[in-house]
A and B are shown apart, each in its own frame.
Chain A
């Protein structure tokens, strides 16, 4: 394996986990989203989602705020700028890896 391809082992494992990847991708598409929306979109249980959000919050990727919209209590989650940068870097790294593997594959096929 070339050094370029070996770079995939340096992927951000906090984001690489499928459930957390889904959470940060959802949050990157909006300014913020509440717990209920994330739960419905990810299909995770309350406990599971809570655990993943806590990990992302600890890493400074997600900001969680308990607030009210009118009289409705909301637990609003927001991707921080650190989280946005981490997701961007992760996507670039993954894309880079995919490009290189497909180049290698086509070279082998020729």
Chain B
């Protein structure tokens, strides 16, 4: 038996990502919401009532999304993954969830402060550059470094690349951000879709003898 303890533990952790639902439901869904959100905000304008309401409710949509994404992924896994390769329930202590939300809030405040400072110079669209960099770092730390899921290398690099490229593209601000999340959503869905396809090809539904 060549496996050591941490290899086995890592493999169990990686099983969560085996089917690509994490990207499809989690990343894709969340980014799609944000893309529609910023596009709508751009359409209605910052000064309209609906535009302002959208701005205020964005935080709640994000937090709510974080809480429900796992349930959605579990529902998808229940139909597709568990009958094929088995069921695993992962620990999700409340304080860990609370820590993620708190980290997200602190991250948002730091990003806003940075944007405010950079906006004074008005040279580049800082919002999209910061969004790309923050998303890239989060993806790298959570999925590549911690869970050792190698395909997230590409997604974290893509996030930084999209963010930086769009920040100097010269497109209007709201449009830029909408485009960024749209591109990320597409990348997540392509990655998740390819992973799911490979998983389904490799793991057909077992037939009872």
Chain A residues at the B interface, C-beta cutoff of 8 Å? 18, 21-22, 25-26, 28-41, 69-70, 72, 74, 76, 91
A-B contacts, 15 of them at CB < 8 A, read A21-B1, A25-B5, A29-B9, A30-B90, A32-B87, A33-B87, A34-B88, A36-B86, A39-B86, A40-B85, A40-B86, A41-B8, A69-B87, A72-B78, A74-B87
Question: Mask for B184-205, Cβ within 8 A of A = 1, else 0?
Answer: 0000000000000000000000
B87 touches A31 (CB 8 A): no
Residues of B within 8 A of A26 (CB): 8, 12
Assess the A37–B8 pair: CB atoms within 8 A.
no
A37-B78 in contact given A25-B9, A26-B12 (Cβ < 8 Å): no
Q: Which 3 A-B pairs have the closest CB atoms?
A: A37-B86, A36-B86, A29-B12
Known: A25-B5, A37-B15, A41-B11. A30 touches B86 (CB 8 A): no
Once the chains bind, are A36 and B9 in contact (CB under 8 Å)? no
Q: Are B82 and A31 in contact (CB under 8 A)?
A: no
Residues of B near A33 (CB, < 8 A) are: 12, 86-89
Q: Digitize B166-195: 1 where CB-to-A-CB distance is under 8 Å, 0 elsewhere.
A: 000000000000000000000000000000
- B83 in contact (CB, < 8 A): yes
Specify which chain B residues have a CB less than 8 angstroms from the CB of A37 in the assembled complex. Answer: 15, 85-88
Complex contacts, B8 vs chain A, CB 8 Å = 22, 25-26, 29, 41
**Contact B86–A34 (Cβ < 8 Å):** yes
Contact A34–B9 (Cβ < 8 Å): no
Q: Enumerate chain A residues within 8 angstroms of B79, measured Cβ to Cβ.
A: 70
Name A's interface SS.
Answer: helix
Nearest-neighbor residue (CB-CB) of A71 within chain B:
B78
- For the complex, what is the distance from the CA of A40 to the CA of B82, rounded to whole Å? 12
| Closest beta carbon of chain B to A62's beta carbon, Å | 14
Query: Once the chains are docked, how many angstroms separate the CA of A21 from the CA of B13?
Result: 18
Q: Which residues of A contact B12 (CB under 8 A)?
A: 26, 29-30, 33, 41
Which of A18, A25, A28, A32 is B88 in contact with, Cβ under 8 Å?
A32
User: What 1/0 mask marks residues of chain B from 81 to 110 whose CB sits below 8 Å from any chain A CB?
Assistant: 011011111110000000000000000000
Q: Please indicate the chain A residues that have their CB under 8 angstroms from the CB of B88 in the complex.
A: 30, 32-34, 37
B5 / chain A contacts, CB cutoff of 8 Å: 25, 91
Nearest neighbor of B11 in chain A, beta-carbon distance: A41
Contact with A along B1-39 (1 / 0, CB 8 A): 101010011011101000000000000000000000000
A59 to chain B minimum Cβ distance, whole angstroms, is 20
Please determine whether A69 and B78 come into contact, CB atoms closer than 8 angstroms: yes
Chain B residue contacts of A36, Cβ below 8 A: 82, 85-87
Q: A29 CA to B14 CA in the complex, in Å?
A: 11
Which A residues lie within 8 Å of B15 (CB)? Answer: 37
Task: State the CA gap A69–B67 with chains docked (Å).
Answer: 20
How distant is the Cα of A76 from the Cα of B89 in the complex, in angstroms? 9
Using CB atoms, name the residue of chain B closest to A34: B87
User: Are B82 and A74 within 8 A (Cβ)?
Assistant: yes
